[in-house]
Amino acid sequence: MANLKEVKERINSVVSTQQITKAMKMVAAAKLRRAQDKIIQMRPYSQKLTAILNNVSSENEGSEDLIYADKREINNVLIVPITSDKGLCGAFNSNIIKATMASINTEYTDQHITVMPLGKKAYDVFRKKDFPSVTEFYDIFSDVSFDRARAAAEFAMNGFTNGKFDKVILVYNEFKNVATQIVRNEQFLPMEGAAEEKDTNATNIDYIMEPSREYIVKELVPKSLKIQFYKAILESNASEHGARMTAMDKATDNAGELLKDLRLMYNRTRQAAITNEILEIVAGAEALESSN
């Protein structure tokens, strides 16, 4: 059995750890509120913009304005795994890494893969792999903004239009709630919405457009793609804070359970030590009496 000093040191260590996890949970909760507000506000705008774009572009399918919907033989694929910069958020990052590697090893075994990691955790993993990497945007979460997301999106979009990439995939965590994040493997380019919407949408709206339908489509398509890219980043950002809040909450609870066990062990060790001292005193007293 451990001595009292060792048990006391372990108790102090667990108490300190519990205080840290409580503080991290509170910080994550505060950040989650802001991140959640952003993604909740973004979703309706993104969905409406996409719906308008699909409605408008369905009549222009095959034109030069829909260059981002150009489907060709898939030889070069850009995969964008979106993780966090920090750990202590459960399986948040490992799920993205696993999903990315699973996609590479099953769907794109015959294609040339390029990885554009967003987030330091993805960057740390894929820089050690044999895939070519685009590392200019890995620190995007140091300051989450539309301007930084737009730069990363434009890189992917330009690579697609000039033929460097035939397909662009986003792998990220979609925010469902604090305890649930859903891994999404989403095709960013070529666009798929226009053709599908034409077949499935039964309530097409006849928009009046100025100066022309072609000009509107040409302006809306790049903007919609950048919004979609930014939305994936916001989803991942909110998911990260939710995952960290949940992980720190569980860590705090586990520390509490461990403290109960350690304090019980401390009391038992203390009682055993006191009992031994009493026995030694009694034995000493009996020895003195017998000697007299």
Half-sphere exposure of 214 (CA within 13 A, CB side): 5
Contact 56, 197 (CB under 8 A): no
In 107-262, beta strands by DSSP E: 112-115, 167-177, 180-189
Per-residue pLDDT of 115-131, as tens digits, reads 999 999 999 999 998 88
| Fold match, 4-20+249-280 / 28-248 | no
What mean pLDDT is reported for the chain? 87
Range picked from 33-42, 188-197, 203-212 for highest mean pLDDT: 33-42
The reported pLDDT for the residue numbered 274 is 86
Q: Is 128 a catalytic residue?
A: no
Per-residue pLDDT of 53-86, as tens digits, reads 766 656 555 555 578 888 889 999 999 999 999 9
* pTM (two decimals): 0.84
The reported pLDDT for the residue numbered 292 is 65
Contact 217, 56 (CB under 8 A): yes
- Range 28-248 classified under CATH 3.40.1380.10: yes
Q: How many Å apart are CA 42 and CA 45, to the nearest integer?
A: 5
CATH class held by domain 4-20+249-280 = mainly alpha
Nearest-10 Cα torsion for 256, 262, 263, 266: -170
Residue 270 reports pLDDT greater than 90: no
Instruction: Give me the residue label for tokens 């048990």.
Output: 7
Residue 121: Cβ within 10 Å count: 25
The reported pLDDT for the residue numbered 57 is 59
Q: What is the mean pLDDT of residues 9-29?
A: 94
The reported pLDDT for the residue numbered 103 is 94
Residue 27 reports pLDDT greater than 60: yes
Half-sphere exposure of 22 (CA within 13 A, CB side): 9
| Length of the chain measured in residues | 292
**Predicted confidence band of residue 193 (pLDDT cuts 50, 70, 90):** low
Q: Which member of 89, 97, 225, 233 is catalytic?
A: 89
Q: For the chain, which residues make up each domain, given as ranges? A: 4-20+249-280, 28-248
The reported pLDDT for the residue numbered 202 is 43
Nearest-10 Cα torsion for 12, 14, 16, 18: -150
Q: How many Å apart are CA 146 and CA 230, to the nearest integer?
A: 6
**Predicted confidence band of residue 194 (pLDDT cuts 50, 70, 90):** very low
The reported pLDDT for the residue numbered 56 is 65
DSSP assignment letter at 148 = H
Residue 199 reports pLDDT greater than 90: no
Residue 237 reports pLDDT greater than 90: yes
The reported pLDDT for the residue numbered 198 is 43
